[in-house]
Structures are given as C-alpha cells and as structure tokens.
Amino acid sequence: MIETKHETEVMSQYRLVRSHSAEICAPLSAEDSMLQPVVFVSPMKWHLAHTTWFFEEMILKPSLPGYRQFHPDFVKLFNSYYNTVGKPFNRDQRGQISRPTLKEVLAYRSHVDTHIEQMFNDTVSQELNELLVLGLNHEQQHQELMLTDLKYSFAINPTYPVYKEGGIGIDAETTTKGWLNINGGIYDIGHDGVGFCYDNELSSHKVYLHDFEISQDLVTNAEYLQFVQDGGYENFRHWLDDGWAWKQTNRISAPLYWEKLDGEWQHYTLGGLQRLNPNAPVTHLSYYEANAYAAWKGCRLPTEFEWEVASKQFDWGERWEWTNSAYLPYPGFEISEGAVGEYNGKFMSNQMVLRGGSIATPKGHSRHTYRNFFQPELRWQYNGIRLAK
C-alpha cells in the first residue's frame, strides 16, 4: 500500500478525517452514544475510542519515543478483533461500557491527536506514513458504520427519533438509462498500485469475462415494491435455500425500515419517518433479498469482476451494490506480518462482496477496485441492487 502524499498533506487529511468523526457525533447526547441493540451494531462512543486506539496502538506506542499511553485499560476495552494485540473485548457487550465516559473518550482523542501531530511534524519513515494513511481509511470506514449503526439503534424507538433535519442527504432519483453491453474478453482486475488501497484489492490480475449486459440504473423503491406486491417474499422459487430459511425464521416481508402505515409505505431515515420515494434507489437489503429480486426479474446480480469492468461506464456511489461473488483472495494475495495482517484476510469466509459506495460513505473513500464485504443476511448498510444478465 503506497501513499504518495507528503507528510504535511497527510496531516491535513488527518485533521479533516478526525474532525469529521466529531461532526457526526455533534447532534448526539451521551445517552445516544451508548446505544447497542444488536451484536453487529457498535455504540458511537466505542467507534470514537476504537479509531483512536488504532493510532495509539499501531503508531504511537511502538514508534514515538517516550510516549505514555492515555490509559492502560483502553487496550482491553477498545480492541475490536486484533488477537495479535491482546484479547478483544466481547463485541456484544460494547454498549455496557459506561466507563470511561464520553467526556473521557473525547479527551483520549485529543491526547492521541496531539501526539500524532508532534510525531508527524518530524520526518517519518514511509512505513509509518503508510500506517497513518491506513488508519485514516480505517476511521472513514467507521464513520460510515457510525451513521448506519446509529440509524439501526434509533429505528427501534417507536417515536422515530430525528438525528438531524434532512438526515444525511437527499437520495438521487434514478432515471432510466437502459443496459450496457460489455463484450467478453480478458480484463485487468484489482488495484494498479498507484495511491492507497487495501490489501484485499491486490494483486492486479487478469480475468476472462463472457459477453454480458448490466443495468446503468439501480433498482428503485417502486420497482422493488412490485416484487413485494407480487408476493415475492412468499414464493420460495425466487429464493436461495439459505435465504428462504433466513426469511422464514426472521419473518422478513419488506426491506429494513419499511413500514406500511394507514395504507401507505413509509421508511425510517435519520431525518425521521418519511414517505417512500418511489424513484429513489431501494436500500437496506440483504444479499438474499437482492438475489431473490434478481431471480424474480429473470436476471441475476453481476459478479464483482463484471461490476469493476463496467463501472467506468455508469454512475455509482448511492448504494453499496451486492455482487454474486464470494469474498475470496486474489491471486498473489499475502497477509502482512503483525496486527495489520488481521485487517482483511481472516474474514475471507462466508461473506459476499459489495462494490461502489453509499450516501453514508465519506467523500473520496471509495474507488472502482474497492471490495466491501458482509455476511449475506446483513442489511443495515445502505445496500442496493444493480441487475445483470
């Protein structure tokens, strides 16, 4: 992972990224920052502390002479999954950490920021510079999680809390552009090594693709509503067996956050409960739902390689787009030594790849080769559908 920016540019980006996390939390109370209704959601306070822990543990403690950690217990509380560093705290109990307080966590962030500034005022090695850039991209990932975790946590409240007026932005309405025809052939896949990337985007390699078509448009709420009204959730023929069992067990009958009130479909947003916009891209769908919809339409989901090749010819970034590709290593993929090696490689099992980005993704964070990944039943992210055939 190579980053070509000079240290001063990187530090400017550091300040922007760190301040954005604080901006996300600005409308929230200390009580809001503790919410964790399910295991896959983390409290806002934990996100603030964990992203700070990353800089302290990976950079300051091993590389800044004389550095004194903010608090020795924080390594026990805010390690997410790095077994190299120690025993991670139970993920499903993060919401029970009332101490340290939110005020203390904010002081922790300030402490670490001061020492990072001190350290990077001097010339540092390329390796440290790359670690800092990795830490910034890591925090941007958590910034998206902060918004989606908060949305899930607020959504269980029957009073439909408003995070802030307008939520996090207005969905771009989909206009019909039709299908792209992509010729079969050998294509380059993966990151070319220029600028930052995660290790799971390496190494660049060639794949053969058959002729295919891919929609230039994301599936809209109105289009998905036709699937709902046609009994798509009741017809097992559209569903993978795992997906059908998931749907039956969890009594799923519509996308997450959809509610039919007084005969009208509405959905919960971070701006409160709103009428469903028929022309906005549908979102908060599991892989199972996306795959079932595609089958109902007589289409399929694109592979991640088809998506990457075609994505230079259509607009993307409104929704994370489910692909039909399992999350697996590319040829030549290597797991790095130490804790950084735990970032991606050990999760290459039982997960599906999503491509693109969403309205919650920080600006400039995603790229054509970016590989997001989640278990097929998860749908609390801003996930959507692009069809292929």
Reply yes or no on domain 179-384 having CATH 3.30.2130.10. Answer: no
What is the reported pLDDT for 232? Answer: 98
What is the reported pLDDT for 157? Answer: 97
Evaluate if pTM is beyond 0.85.
yes
- Where along the chain do its domains lie? 7-155, 179-384
Does residue 84 come out as left (phi exceeding 0), alpha (psi in the -120 to 50 range) or beta? alpha
Tell me the DSSP string of 85-149.
TSPPPPGGGGGG---S-HHHHHHHHHHHHHHHHHHHTS---HHHHHHHHHHHHHHHHHHHHHHHH
pLDDT digits (tens, 9 = 90+) for 183-240: 999 999 999 988 999 999 999 999 999 999 999 999 999 999 999 999 999 999 999 9
Mean pLDDT by 10 residues, the chain (389 residues): 56 97 97 98 98 97 96 94 89 96 98 96 90 97 98 97 90 84 98 92 96 97 98 98 98 98 96 96 98 98 98 97 97 82 82 98 96 98 98
What is the reported pLDDT for 7? Answer: 56
C-alpha–C-alpha distance, residues 350 and 287, integer Å: 12
Interhelix angle 241-250/287-296, nearest 10 degrees: 120
What is the reported pLDDT for 334? Answer: 87
What is the reported pLDDT for 339? Answer: 64
CB 290 within 8 A of CB 322: yes
Residue 364: partners with Cβ closer than 8 Å, 6 or more residues away: none
What is the reported pLDDT for 355? Answer: 98
